[in-house]
């Protein structure tokens, strides 16, 4: 039996989880000084040279930018990919198919339309995604008229979809598969063998594997493998594989709205044409600044060290509690609050008793066919504040949810 559950055709585009959180807590007074660990908004220092880099190209704000990006931007992205994933050093820039994005979220949304056009023989195809996962995946599928298929990603499958449990009938009508690694919200990493299996499925059934790797640079053990890195060593170039990269998380630049995608060059070219009609261009000064940011690793290493300190604190404060496990990547904790009434009740309790705001796991998941929600017993904790604030918040959580 497949682990997939299929959304009903009449389901509306889901309400964003943060709107649902605001409604959940409306009218409730916080029980202490507020610490918001609900939103994954990085609070570490941004690169100190960013404003200088923007200023160097400020006159270009008067120009329309090319949708495919400048040569300097694409070159910087290609150089970063080659440094981060050594097998890609063998690929010329053109074979990496690099395309700038005005924030990775818009790329994750628009890419579904091009993925469906690529497989127009299927019609309105299926879009696979983990359950729970980033809410934009389902919104993109529904907006495009595709069928979102939610794959169980709970403790029983190691918090990643069981690729062997996807039915052949589902795979035959799949046009794309969203795979987030390191995963939001659970923090697990798809290893090389898992990625190889996912790529083999994509090529066998000719769908697009969309690897959402926005958290790839936040880790406390070893650097997570990348989908393009694995594809590059399998032969057939980068066919059927797209990697989504973000400067929001890597470089603490959520407000810059800057990222890029890379991979299958034939698809990237078609995607660029589509975005040239409907998508936003990245302003030229932003592209100039991004090239400088991508060339610098010192600020990334400093930020990674700050996250490691906070996870060390979580190891001390939450060890043996709430199903805590140190995430392999990303900056979220995925805590089990099933013994405290489930995700929504626990979030309300923490808000009312100690002023800590978290996101209910149920808001990041969709109900299974049997009516259960795989996020119902979990809360997501965004470790984005400084060490002192984070320690205070974690101590309040541990004390309140004894």
Indicate which CATH number applies to the domain containing 75: 3.40.640.10
**260 pLDDT exceeds 90?**
yes
pLDDT of residue 266: 94
Domain that holds residue 367: 10-40+299-400
Whether residue 380 lies inside any domain: the answer is yes
Same structural domain for residues 258 and 316?
no
pLDDT of residue 8: 47
pLDDT of residue 371: 85
First and final CA of the chain: distance in angstroms?
Answer: 38
256, 280, 296: which is the final residue of a domain?
A: 296
296, 321, 339: which is the final residue of a domain?
A: 296
**6 pLDDT exceeds 70?**
no
Whether residue 3 lies inside any domain: the answer is no
**224 pLDDT exceeds 90?**
yes
Whether residue 224 lies inside any domain: the answer is yes
Q: For 304-322, how does the pLDDT look when each residue is reduced to its tens digit (9 = 90+)?
A: 999 999 999 999 999 999 9
**137 pLDDT exceeds 90?**
yes
pLDDT above 70 covers a percentage of the chain that reads 97
Same structural domain for residues 245 and 102?
yes
**247 pLDDT exceeds 80?**
yes
**401 pLDDT exceeds 60?**
yes
Which token pair is 364? Answer: 């990041």
Same structural domain for residues 174 and 264?
yes
Same structural domain for residues 263 and 308?
no
Range with lowest mean pLDDT among 1-10, 113-122, 273-282: 1-10
Residue 5 per-residue DSSP state: E
Separation of alpha carbons 124 and 119, rounded Å: 9
Same structural domain for residues 76 and 23?
no
**1 pLDDT exceeds 50?**
no
262, 296, 330: which is the final residue of a domain?
A: 296
Whether residue 1 lies inside any domain: the answer is no
**257 pLDDT exceeds 50?**
yes
Whether residue 83 lies inside any domain: the answer is yes
Task: Say if CB 245 and CB 101 are below 8 A apart.
Answer: no
Whether residue 4 lies inside any domain: the answer is no
Q: For 264-308, how does the pLDDT look when each residue is reduced to its tens digit (9 = 90+)?
A: 999 999 999 999 998 889 999 999 999 999 999 999 999 999 999
pLDDT of residue 4: 53
Same structural domain for residues 270 and 382?
no
Same structural domain for residues 194 and 219?
yes
pLDDT of residue 279: 83
pLDDT of residue 179: 98
Task: Say if CB 337 and CB 379 are below 8 A apart.
Answer: yes
Tokens 């062997």 appear where?
164
* Mean pLDDT over the full length of the chain: 93
Separation of alpha carbons 259 and 384, rounded Å: 20
Tell me what the mean pLDDT of segment 218-238 comes to. 93
H-helix or E-strand containing 151?
strand 147-152
**2 pLDDT exceeds 90?**
no
Same structural domain for residues 308 and 252?
no
pLDDT of residue 10: 54
- Residue 388, phi-psi category: left (phi > 0), alpha (psi -120 to 50), beta (remainder): alpha
According to DSSP, the β-strands at 99-101 and 259-263 are antiparallel
Same structural domain for residues 54 and 97?
yes
Separation of alpha carbons 151 and 2, rounded Å: 9
Same structural domain for residues 289 and 146?
yes
Same structural domain for residues 155 and 166?
yes
Tell me what the mean pLDDT of segment 348-371 comes to. 94
Q: How many domains does the chain have?
A: 2
pLDDT of residue 221: 86
Whether residue 27 lies inside any domain: the answer is yes
Q: What is the CATH number of the domain that holds 354?
A: 3.90.1150.10
Same structural domain for residues 35 and 87?
no
């Amino acid at each position: 039996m497949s682990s997939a559950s299929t959304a009903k055709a009449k389901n509306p585009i889901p309400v964003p989880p943060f709107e649902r959180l605001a409604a959940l807590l409306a009218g409730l007074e916080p029980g202490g000084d507020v610490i918001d660990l609900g939103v994954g908004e990085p609070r570490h220092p941004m690169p100190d040279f960013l404003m200088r880099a923007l200023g160097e190209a400020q006159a270009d704000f008067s120009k329309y930018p090319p949708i495919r990006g400048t040569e300097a931007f694409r070159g910087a992205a290609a150089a970063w990919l080659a440094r981060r994933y050594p097998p890609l050093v063998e690929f010329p820039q053109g074979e990496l198919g690099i395309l700038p994005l005005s924030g990775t979220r818009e790329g994750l949304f628009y890419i579904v339309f091009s993925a469906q056009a690529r497989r127009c023989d299927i019609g309105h195809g299926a879009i696979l995604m983990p359950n729970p996962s980033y809410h934009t995946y389902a919104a993109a599928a529904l907006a495009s008229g595709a069928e979102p298929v939610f794959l169980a990603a709970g403790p029983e499958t190691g918090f990643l979809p069981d690729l062997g449990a996807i039915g052949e009938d589902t795979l035959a009508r799949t046009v794309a598969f969203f795979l987030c690694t390191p995963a939001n919200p659970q923090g697990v990493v798809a290893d090389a063998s898992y990625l190889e299996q996912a790529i083999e499925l994509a090529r066998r059934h000719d769908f697009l594997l969309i690897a959402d790797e926005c958290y790839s640079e936040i880790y406390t053990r070893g650097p997570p493998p990348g989908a393009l890195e694995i594809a590059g060593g399998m032969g057939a170039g980068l066919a059927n594989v797209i990697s989504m990269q973000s400067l929001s998380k890597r470089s603490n630049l959520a407000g810059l709205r800057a990222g890029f995608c890379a991979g299958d060059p034939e698809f990237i070219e078609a995607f660029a044409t589509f975005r040239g009609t409907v998508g936003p261009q990245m302003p030229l000064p932003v592209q100039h600044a991004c090239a400088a940011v991508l060339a610098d690793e010192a600020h990334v290493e400093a930020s990674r060290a700050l996250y490691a300190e906070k996870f060390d604190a979580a190891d001390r404060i939450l060890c043996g509690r709430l199903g805590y496990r140190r995430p392999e990547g990303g900056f979220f904790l995925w805590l089990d609050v099933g013994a405290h009434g489930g995700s929504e009740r626990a979030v309300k309790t923490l808000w009312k008793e100690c002023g800590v705001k978290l996101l209910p796991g149920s808001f990041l998941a969709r109900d299974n066919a049997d009516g259960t929600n795989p996020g119902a017993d979990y809360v997501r904790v965004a470790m984005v504040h400084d060490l002192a604030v984070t320690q205070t918040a974690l101590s309040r959580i541990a004390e309140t949810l004894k």
